[in-house]
Amino acid sequence: MDIKVFDIRNFGNKLNDIIKNFEWPSYFSLPKTIDSREGIAVIEEGKELSFQYLREKSNGIAKFLSDLNIKNNDIVGGIMQQSFNLLSAIIGTYKNNSIFMSISTLLGTESIKIRLEKTKSKVIFSDHTQTKKLREVSNDIIIVSNDGGDYDIDSITKISNLEYDTDKNKPSHLLFTSGSTGEPKGALLPHSWILGILPSFQISLDLAPRENDVFMTPIEWAWIGGLGNMALPSLYYGIPLVVYKREGKLDVSDLLNKYEKYKVTGTVLVPTALRMIMKLGDEFKKYDLKIRSILTGSEIVTSDIYEWGKKMGISINNTYGQTETGLITCESSLLMNKKINTVGIPCPGHNIIIVDDNYNILGKNEIGEIAVTLPDPGVMIEYYKSPESTSKKIIDNKFILTGDIGYLDSEGYLIFIGRKDEIIKVSGYRINPIEIENIINSHPYVKESAVIGIEDKEKGMKIVAFVVLKESIKGNEDIKEEIKDYVKKKFALYAYPSVIEFVDSLPTTTTGKIRRSELRQRFLKN
């Protein structure tokens, strides 16, 4: 079959034209499109690895899985740092029509064990950093690794040609949510999940691919932000992808050195990482960077981030999405006017609606739950082996709920307010905890903070803030009162924290999101 690459630019060079002419392709196969590519696919530790090598290696892995009697819809695990081998394992699993389950290298043995037992995985791809951990988890699973495994991934025979086909509607990938509001659930994604992300990928990276593009992200490829928003789309469009391996906290200097060394033009960074870079001040200018655009999301992007990007000549574009939906909004300096405090506009091909508690569709500027109408190629098939959770998420096969509160303004921009179960209602006012955190974090004594709402007989809810002070500051009652007054003055008289607790650190998920549920439980126990 002739592979026609999906390209948003085929619909026009203006946003209105793109939206008007847009249509999803009838056929889509990520592996076949990647197989059709030529040139450099991956740059790993200075080595340039070709698309031909990726094709032959992933073919070999597909044959290897078949020889192990891994069949359609069997779950194949993967816990590896960014690497050529990880990409080969994912694409090879797709070609075998089995399902690849991504597991973060940051997870401990108990979390890994739960995932392997729930999915009954027989095979897991690993690397030298994870093999020992896996041996502690299970003696039954077959480990394929570059060191200490039952099979050596580097010794798997490469195959030039392989007959296979994929169905865009069939399952291909299992991504577990980070579990910020409860036990992680496995989002079972169809082969078309990457197709759903491509419009936002192209638009938010300022109409990629362009000549001489090279992409890289420090986000682990076990998460949708690293794998779905950068790695696999880059390969789909034939953009060389630089491997970035890291352990522990992000080293901003190392990241910028890599950007400079490999002449990276596009990246995905969360706002937290952007703020770390911004703190370098004039030191940032010493790097000779070629970055033209940054796709970001997962947190509120404040005006100072946009202004910094503009000053540095870098287009910073905010997006919105979830593991269960993929990216569904986009932003681009080339195609639209940016509006601060929004998460962009609904991307072509995705229909975002706002619904009330009875699932009635609301109008412009009306606040409710953000949802996406179906069918949509980027939306999950189900929560793996969890029909009850699925039925609460996907409503009558008509739309999928996000669990987030927001609204579409009069110009069609999406305004994100917060998680439905995290919105604080004080004396009739809806308050986004992130807004209060941003104010508290701007106080000169504060390093970071987290805000939650606790039930209160008088006000309905009261605001509680957990505050981490800067190292040189020692907390006391006077500082608590100063922070309260600061919030009243900067934000609102009704929206200040009535309770402040000083803590050494904040509990976070593996992707850096604050575990508010844990803070709530901690407060109620005291």
pLDDT at 68: 97
pTM: 0.86
* Domain membership of residue 457 as a residue range: 422-525
Residue 126 within any structural domain of the chain: yes
pLDDT at 91: 98
CATH of the domain at 139: 3.40.50.980
CA–CA distance, 36 with 122 (Å, rounded to integer): 31
Residue 314 within any structural domain of the chain: no
pLDDT at 181: 44
CA–CA distance, 526 with 515 (Å, rounded to integer): 17
Q: Of 190, 210, 227, at which residue does a domain stop?
A: 190
Residue 519 within any structural domain of the chain: yes
CATH of the domain at 460: 3.30.300.30
Residue 6 within any structural domain of the chain: no
pLDDT at 41: 98
Residue 510 within any structural domain of the chain: yes
Q: Of 190, 209, 243, at which residue does a domain stop?
A: 190
CA–CA distance, 323 with 188 (Å, rounded to integer): 10
pLDDT along the chain (526 residues), means of 10: 85 92 96 97 97 98 98 96 98 98 90 91 94 89 95 97 97 81 81 98 97 96 96 98 89 97 97 90 96 89 90 96 97 91 95 96 96 98 96 97 95 89 74 86 94 80 93 94 92 86 86 79 82
CA–CA distance, 174 with 167 (Å, rounded to integer): 16
Residue 16 within any structural domain of the chain: no
Q: Counting beta carbons within 10 angstroms of the beta carbon of residue 411, is it exposed (0 to 12), middle (13 to 18) or buried (19 or more)?
A: exposed
Domain count, the chain: 2
Residue 325 within any structural domain of the chain: no
Compute CA 301 distance to the chain's CA centroid, rounded to the nearest angstrom. Answer: 15
Both tokens of 209, joined, read 């691919």
In degrees, rounded to 5, the angle at the alpha carbon of residue 86 between the alpha carbons of residues 84 and 88 is 70
Q: Of 155, 190, 225, at which residue does a domain stop?
A: 190
CA–CA distance, 407 with 414 (Å, rounded to integer): 6
Residue 480 within any structural domain of the chain: yes
Q: Where are the alpha helices (DSSP H) in 15-164?
A: 15-21, 30-35, 51-67, 84-95, 109-119, 131-137
pLDDT at 69: 97
